[in-house]
Amino acid sequence: MQTDFEILAKFLARSGAEVEGRISDVPDSDAIELFRKFANGKATPEERARMVKLVDSRPDWIAALAEEIRQRRQRTKPKGKP
C-alpha cells in the first residue's frame, strides 16, 4: 500500500513543472482542515482520496498542503535538533 507521501511525491513528479512557482487563491477552510488532518496522519482513506482529487484539480494549493506538513514537522521535532 502506498503511503500518503508517496502519492503526493508521484503527483509532484508528474505535475512539478506545472505547479512550480504558482500562487493563486488561498484554500478554503474545509481544504485547510483536510490538509491538517492529512499532515497529522489522521485523514481517513476517503479523506485522503478527496485530498488527492482536490490538489489534482487545484495544483496551486499544494503549497498550502506542504506548509501544513512543514508545520507538523516543526511541532514534532525533538528539542535541540535543527
Between the ranges 2-6, 8-12, 15-19, 66-70, where is the mean pLDDT highest? 66-70
- Please, how many CA atoms are within 13 Å of residue 52, restricted to the half-sphere of its CB? 17
- Domain spans in the chain, listed from the N-terminal domain onward: 4-76
The tens digit of pLDDT for each residue in 16-74 reads 655 555 555 789 999 999 999 999 999 999 999 999 999 999 988 998 999 888 888 88
4-76 is classed in which CATH architecture? Up-down Bundle (1.20)
pLDDT at 19 (0 to 100)? 54
What are the grid coordinates assigned to 9, written together? 511525491
Residues whose CB is less than 8 angstroms from the CB of residue 54 and which lie 6 or more positions away in sequence, other chains included: 31, 34, 61
pLDDT band at 80 (very low <50, low <70, confident <90, very high): low
Q: Which contiguous run of DSSP H or E holds residue 38?
A: helix 29-39
